A and B are shown apart, each in its own frame.
Chain A
Amino acid sequence: MPDVIVSNWAFLAQGLAITVQLSALTILAGTLLGLALGVARFLRVPVVGQIAVFYIEFVRGTPLLVVLFICYFGLPALLHFHTTAYRAALLGFVLFIGAYIAEEIRVGLRSVSAGLIQAGLAMGLTPSQVLRFVVLPLAFRRVIPSLFNQYVRLFKFTSVASVIGVDEFTASALLVNARVFSPVTIILTVAATYLVLCSAISFAGRALYAHLAVRT
């Protein structure tokens, strides 16, 4: 490995740890948010469903950078609270990816055939049991590939947090570059690191999908 990377290894690793932590927390919270919104939209829950539609359309039409700006600068100014760049980024990422995951979940829910739902109801399951035991497990398996696409997307997008001053991997690398000035090596190392980690997430998604796939 190039000297620049080896001698700044600890610092870069620290940044990478923040990137991974930010991604992991966002994936967890974003999936839960997406699940809630997706189900609310699918079931056409009054009020909540409409709010979900509005929210999803708004976020999907807004660049991530702007969502982060709103969370870091806009909301604290409007509602008078203080936040750290890390917390604002986490909030922004969850709100952002949650909207996309909600859409994936809704598509997955809709792909479950009406016959299965009717069969479940005919067997005496309550509607919520049908959702819990029939629709969600099937839909979840089907959306694994698109869910993991969103996770990969999110992992790449965490680099944008560097813009609002989160000391994640990209920001650390830029700082190292400011110190030692070796842009070619540093940028290529950063690119390669994201490449490997994104491929790992995709691979995990494919493995999980193959493991759980509905065999017909």
Chain B
Amino acid sequence: MEYQLNFTPIWEHRDLILQGLATTVALSISALVIAGIIGLVIGSVGTARSRSWRAGAALYVEVMRNVPLLVHMYFWYMALAFLQLPAFVCAMLGLALYSGAYVAEVVRSGIGSIPNGQMQAGLALGLRYFQTLRFVIYPQALRIIAPSLASLLSQLIKDSSLASVLAVAELAYQAGAIEGQTFRTFEVYITLSLIYLVLVTIVTQTITWLAGESESAAARLSDA
């Protein structure tokens, strides 16, 4: 018997997909914010002059990066079950701590790519260390690392699908629910992958475009 492709049952469950999409976006954004803060702090510490600070940052990155994301999530959900955190928060924390380590590495390499003279010039102008970081180093580094950040973010969005394992009702979970009701197995999962593909493409293109805009703005500034 030939398998008949039939996408109508999926269209009929579009409300579930939209709900899942909203949860995926909420999960990704909240994890992204925390991962961004972790990455900024740990990445900056990773360029500190003190060797022990650098070692501490490197230790964080190594430990977090080398443990599977699924285990990160189980850690919050099962090992720290006495905290009674909601599944969404467990997934978010796992995703944030894991991705934060990757962001930290990118931030560290971004700061490292700014010539030392910039820092010295900032300090010579009377800016404090943190002011120089904030106003001189970070803006330049951000433009350099924008493409890597875009790919990390798309990674994060895709990784958020693992939250379905903790029964967080995001896209992959809702897809499973629709599959259970309609038995349109192949159509459901192909649709799911296309949704992720579109989502990831939009995010990556937007960041690349924003980086290009700020690049040309900077070029205009330096031409003036």
Given contacts A73-B189, A78-B3, contact A187 B71 (CB under 8 A): yes
Question: Which chain A positions have C-beta within 8 A of B74?
Answer: 170, 174, 187, 190
Which chain B positions have C-beta within 8 A of A67?
193
Instruction: For the complex formed, measure the closest distance between the CB of A132 and the CB atoms of chain B, giving whole angstroms.
Output: 31
User: Does any Cβ of B come within 8 Å of A55's Cβ?
Assistant: no
Q: A63-B158, A188-B79 are in contact. Are A75 and B186 (CB under 8 A)?
A: yes
Residue of A nearest to B74 (CB): A187
Summarize A's interface: helix, strand, loop or mixed: helix
Contact A62 B67, CB 8 Å, known A70-B189, A187-B79 = no
B197 A195 Cβ-Cβ under 8 A: no
Does the CB pair A65–B81 fall under 8 Å?
no
Q: Count how many pairs of residues, one from A and one from B, have CB atoms less than 8 Å apart in the complex.
A: 118
List the one stretch of A2-10, A44-52, A135-143, A154-162 in contact with chain B. A154-162
Q: Mark B4-33, 1 if CB is under 8 A from A, else 0.
A: 000000000000000000000000000000
Chain B residues positioned under 8 Å from A80 (CB to CB): 1, 3
CA distance A195 to B62 in the complex (A): 8
Contact across chains for A74 and B162 when beta carbons are under 8 A apart: no
The answer to whether B68 touches A159, judged by C-beta atoms less than 8 angstroms apart, is yes
> In the complex, are the beta carbons of B185 and A63 less than 8 A apart?
no
Q: Is A163 engaged at the interface, CB distance under 8 Å to the other chain? A: yes
Contact status B71-A62, CB under 8 Å: no
For the complex with contacts A62-B197, A80-B3, 12 further pairs of A-B residues with Cβ separation under 8 Å are A62-B196, A63-B161, A66-B196, A69-B172, A70-B189, A70-B193, A156-B68, A158-B68, A183-B81, A184-B80, A187-B74, A194-B67
